[in-house]
Amino acid sequence: MSILLGLEAAIKSMRASTTAVNTASHNIANMNTEGYSKQTATISATQPINNYNGAGQLGTGSAVSYIQRVRNIYLDTQIRTELGGLGESEILADTYKTLAAMFPEVSGVSNSGISAQLEAFWKGWEDLAAEFTKPIADRDIESIKNQIYSAANGLAGLVRERSSALMSLQMDLNAALRLNVQEANDYIKQIASFNQAIVKAKTAGQVPNDILDKRELAIQNLSKIMNVYVAERADGASVITIGGRILVNGAEYNKLATMAGTKDAKLEDVGIMDAGAAPVSITKNIDSGRLAGIIESRDVVIQGYITDLDILASSMITVVNKFHKTGVTDVAGVLTQNDREFFTGTRAADFRVSEQLQGGTMINDTKYQEGDLAEIMANLDNKLMSNWVTSNKLAGVTSDTTLGSTGKLIINSIEIDFAATDTVRDLIQKININVEDFMAVFDDSNNSLFMSGSQYFNIEETDSAGNAVIPPVLLNKIKMFQEQVSAAPVNYYASSTGNKVVGASTWATQQNKFAVDPTASGTVTVNFEGKNYYIDWTETQIINLTAMNIGFIDASAAKPNFVLATFKNDEQKIYFSSGINSGADGNRVPPFMIYDQKGNFTKSMNLVGAVRFQDHFESTMGKLKGALLSAKNMESQYDTTVESLKGMQEEVTAVDENAEIATAKLYQRQYDASVRLMAVIDQMLNMLINRMGSPSSNIE
């Protein structure tokens, strides 16, 4: 065996020791580098050679066989998932914080904001009603009306301003969507570049630990923006997909892009550009990360509060106007029929006090007796927002028309006697004795009766002795029916401002679906006279078809009691309304309810159920307060989980300075020993070469 074998072993040991020391040095140099995983040099014996003298194989030294990247791959997957939840919860929490700043009521500030203006509006009507109980000389009607006008103007202005601010917030989030899409594209491009370098290194037999760390950090950053599925190919390249569509495959990648939104072109969707083609929307596939938080905040959370304001404004416009238009006001000592609306507009964005009120001068306060309309208006805050009893247009019937029959109306268990000689005026006044429970007006301009109550109506007609009258005389004469109406205009696809359907032909050509994305299918339940009717609908079904199905649920009966007025265009405001005919053989107007067994049909239609004016905004603020607290908790939980997982990963990957220095010293000693071994071998070679040389040798 060659004496040089020992020399080669020493050299290999020096090389291995040097690599191990360099690895420790590299670890220390990157101990504060984000995403870096410590590395360890694995030293193993090199391939031995056979000893043909029969003493067995001879060792040839040692070498670094592998530089190991120390990392828990399972924790990487968990961290990516939790980062997606953290990114989404951070956006939602910020959104709710911004919303809370817009509405001081959330912080318990009751002397400002919409809530205070609502209270001032109703209080103004109470004060006006109280003025009519004073002697004429002591009344200050004009001053109180000016206060009502001022409160109403302040209310409408605040509602418009908040609605505008919410829409601006939606646009801000849309801008954030674009920025996050650009950031995601940067990470997608980086990952593809890292893939290319990793494949190249592995093909050359190298282990690209540092590039693997950089790729993992980029994938984690991408996961915080959007949910992605990560797999790895045999050559080490990663494949990243979302919703079955490829974002990255090795060195190839597809960019994300923003595109015109499905519901509103201004509120964009996220698309993917497969092979550079036109973007295909993947918005529905994004369910975590900052993009999910932005889309949820923009399209669901904020839109929900815009709708809540629309519900408030639309209901105020509808119900206040129905009562106010029937009244009269004292102009220059003469009671004058105004037939003027109190509010104008269709929703929060255009909610205004009518200019016809002339600063409050033309506010109506009386219907039949001094101040009776003011008393009705003062109690309106306790009535349901979108559920009432009304009548068809009664040809030839006015306030002075006699009823022509004797009996009782039992309204929500309260008995109201009427005589044949009573007029419609007399009946209305008898009903309004119970103004805290329900109240009525008769509109002489369109010959119709309107009643609003604090709960669902149940109206029966009996004779004076309490026996059922079949068929009912009075109910059939005034043709009363219950009506549920969407408390705000329905938001249609492809529009966020118009939201109007004018005529059936326009409806048919637009083929509009539900405003709020429904589940794949759903079932709406109509409860009527103790029986439930179930109507199924699908995701792609237009509203009109579902309305038609509801309208015919009792069509098989010989004399169906349930009728449906699908859509009603009332002064350019679109309502979904339905009613129950009293029927020729019935003696009452029974209540009915529409609600979802599954799905969100009633939410799409803005049917708010048995909600009173005084409760609606308080409920909205309570919902916001609860959502803010929940969002903060979710953000905190995700943050804690991510930090915990990263801490667990750091226990594996973190560089311990003292340990690395100890490792370096260990291999330094190995290096020193190898050097000393080489000195020994050098002496052996010196002996062999210099002392065994031929005397005749003369180099000179």
pLDDT at position 477, please?
86
Q: Which of 198-207, 323-332, 393-402, 505-514 has the lowest mean pLDDT?
A: 505-514
% of the chain exceeding 70 in pLDDT: 86
Note the pLDDT tens digit of each residue in 434-447. Answer: 999 999 999 988 89
The alpha carbons of the chain give a radius of gyration, in whole angstroms, of 40
Model confidence pLDDT, tens digit, residues 101-129: 999 888 877 778 899 999 999 999 999 99
Instruction: Encode 392-422 in three state secondary structure.
Output: CCCCCCCCCCECCCCEEEEECCEEEEECCCC
Whether the Cβ atoms of residue 230 and residue 73 lie closer than 8 Å to each other: no
- Of residues 223 and 581, which shows the higher confidence score? 223
The predicted pLDDT at position 253 comes to 96
* pLDDT tens profile 367-385: 999 999 999 999 999 999 9
Q: Which residues contact 540 (CB under 8 A, 6 or more apart)?
A: 513
Tokens linked to 532: 């439930």
Q: How far apart are CA 340 and CA 336, in angstroms?
A: 11
Mean pLDDT of 520-545: 79
Does residue 279 contact residue 259 with C-beta atoms inside 8 Å?
A: yes
- Looking at residue 237, its pLDDT comes to 96
- Sign of CA pseudo-dihedral 497, 499, 505, 507: positive
> Which tokens go with 325?
């238009």
Tens of pLDDT, residues 181-190 = 999 999 999 9
Backbone angles phi, psi at 598, to 5 degrees: -155, 155
Instruction: Identify whether the C-beta of residue 342 lies closer than 8 Å to the C-beta of residue 321.
Output: yes
Q: What are phi and psi of 281, to 5 degrees?
A: -65, 135
No. of H helices and E strands in the chain? 16, 27
Average pLDDT of the chain to the nearest whole number: 87
pLDDT band at 574 (very low <50, low <70, confident <90, very high): low
For residues 58 and 51, the answer to whether their CB atoms sit within 8 Å is: yes
Residue 568's pLDDT band (boundaries 50, 70, 90)?
low
**Residue 128 neighbours by CB distance under 10 Å:** 25
Task: Name all contacts of 397-401 with Cβ < 8 Å and 24+ positions apart.
Answer: 397/424, 397/447, 397/478, 398/424, 398/442, 398/444, 398/447, 399/368, 399/423, 399/424, 399/425, 399/428, 399/442, 399/444, 400/424, 400/425
Beta-strand relationship, 521-528 and 531-538: antiparallel
Average pLDDT over residues 416-430: 96
Stronger pLDDT, 473 or 605, i.e. the higher one: 473
How many residues can be counted in the chain? Answer: 700
The dihedrals phi and psi of 282, each to the nearest 5 degrees, come to -120, 15
Q: Using CA atoms, how far apart are residues 63 and 429, in angstroms rounded to an integer?
A: 105
Phi, psi of 638 (to 5 degrees): -65, -40
Say which amino acid occupies 477: K
Query: Residue 441's pLDDT is what?
Result: 95
Residue 453 pLDDT > 80, yes or no? yes
Q: How confident is the model at residue 499 (pLDDT cuts 50, 70, 90)?
A: very low
pLDDT at 694: 61
Q: Which pLDDT score is estimated for 584?
A: 58
Give residue 328's pLDDT band: very low, low, confident or very high (50, 70, 90).
Answer: confident
The answer to whether residues 381 and 612 touch, using CB atoms and an 8 Å cutoff, is yes
Per-residue pLDDT reduced to its tens digit, 656-686 = 999 999 999 999 999 999 999 999 988 888 8
Q: Is the pLDDT of residue 319 over 50?
A: yes
Q: List Cβ neighbours of 333 (8 Å cut-off, separation of 6 or more).
A: none
Task: Please tell me the predicted confidence (pLDDT) of residue 500.
Answer: 44
Is 80 exceeded by the pLDDT of residue 700?
A: no
Q: Identity (one letter) of the amino acid at 375?
A: E
Judged against a pLDDT cut of 80, whether residue 570 lies above it is answered with no
- C-beta neighbour count of 154 within 10 angstroms: 17
Cα–Cα distance between 653 and 669 in angstroms, integer? Answer: 26
Per-residue confidence at 50, pLDDT binned at 50, 70, 90? confident
- Straight-line distance from the first to the last Cα atom of the chain, in angstroms, rounded to the nearest whole number: 32
Chain centre to alpha carbon of residue 657: 47
The region of weakest confidence among 4-13, 258-267, 488-497, 683-692 is 488-497
- Residue whose structure tokens are 């000179």: 700
Output the CA torsion sign for 420, 424, 430, 431: positive
Which pLDDT score, from 0 to 100, does residue 138 have? 92
Predicted local confidence at residue 569, as pLDDT: 46
pTM for the structure as a whole: 0.87
442-451, 546-555, 610-619, 658-667: least confident range: 546-555
pLDDT digits (tens, 9 = 90+) for 516-530: 666 668 898 888 777
List 574's β-bridge partners, or say none.
Answer: 569
What's the CA gap between 421 and 561, in Å, rounded? 30
Query: Do 239 and 232 meet the contact criterion of CB atoms below 8 Å apart?
Result: yes
Of 314, 165, 324, the C-alpha closest to 613 is: 314
DSSP code of 140? -
Q: What is the average per-residue pLDDT within 10-25?
A: 95
Q: Distance between alpha carbon 515 and the CA centroid of its chain, in Å?
A: 13
Confidence of residue 511 (pLDDT cuts 50, 70, 90): very low
The pLDDT of residue 671 is: 95
Using the predicted structure, report yes or no on whether residue 201 has a pLDDT greater than 70. Answer: yes
What is the C-alpha separation between 229 and 215, in angstroms, rounded?
A: 14
pLDDT tens, 242-294? Answer: 999 999 999 999 999 999 887 677 889 999 998 778 899 999 999 999 999 99
pLDDT the model gives residue 454: 94
Rounded CA separation 391/483 (Å): 10
Distance CA 166, CA 170 (A): 6
3-class secondary structure, 297: helix
Residue 578 has pLDDT above 70, yes or no: no
Residue 182 β-bridge partners: none
DSSP string for residues in 68-111: EE---HHHHHHHHHHHHHHHHHHHHHHHHHHHHHH-GGGGT--S
Is pLDDT at 203 greater than 90 in this prediction?
Answer: yes
SS3 of 184-219: HHHHHHHHHHHHHHHHHHHHCCCCCHHHHHHHHHHH
Q: Tell me the backbone φ, ψ of residue 375, rounded to 5 degrees.
A: -65, -40
Percentage of the chain beyond pLDDT 90 is 62
pLDDT digits (tens, 9 = 90+) for 617-664: 999 999 999 999 999 999 999 999 999 999 999 999 999 999 999 999
User: Given this model, what pLDDT does residue 101 score?
Assistant: 92
3-state secondary structure of 632: helix
pLDDT tens column, 458-486? 999 999 999 988 888 898 888 888 888 88
Band of residue 556 on the pLDDT scale cut at 50, 70, 90: low
Distance from CA of residue 95 to its chain's centroid? 10
As a whole number of angstroms, the distance between CA 230 and CA 249 comes to 10
Give residue 559's pLDDT band: very low, low, confident or very high (50, 70, 90).
very low
